[in-house]
Amino acid sequence: MNNVIIKNDVKIENMIYEIRGKQVMLDSDLAKLYNVETKRINEAVKNNIEKFPERYCFKLTDDESNNLLVEIFDQKINTD
């Protein structure tokens, strides 16, 4: 079994967003936590899609992506 070590300087609560009424994390943030490339996270999902039903994993619409970018930008400005 592999052990996962999360960096101490990572604030997971800053990586959680609400989309479609659900708390979610982005693939890029999961990649940072697991210290892998984002494409590796997406490959794992693609190769094991049966383990990732829509309630656990879904693709954002263009509008959701744009709204999330605004939220991330606002969050970054308020913490700097």
| Residue 29 domain-assigned (yes or no) | yes
pTM of the model as a whole:
0.73
Q: Residue 49: name the closest of 39, 38, 57 by CA.
A: 57
- DSSP code of 71? H
Round to whole Å and give the CA distance between 60 and 58: 6
Tens digit of pLDDT per residue, the chain (80 long)? 566 556 556 688 888 999 999 899 999 999 999 999 999 999 999 999 999 888 888 999 999 999 999 988 887 787 66
- DSSP code of 23? E
Round to whole Å and give the CA distance between 49 and 45: 5
Count how many domains the chain has. Answer: 1
| Residue 6 domain-assigned (yes or no) | no
| Residue 31 domain-assigned (yes or no) | yes
Q: Give residue-wise pLDDT tens across range 26-49.
A: 999 999 999 999 999 999 999 999
Range of the structural domain that residue 19 is part of: 15-79
| Residue 70 domain-assigned (yes or no) | yes
* 80 CB neighbour count, 10 Å cutoff: 5
| Residue 1 domain-assigned (yes or no) | no
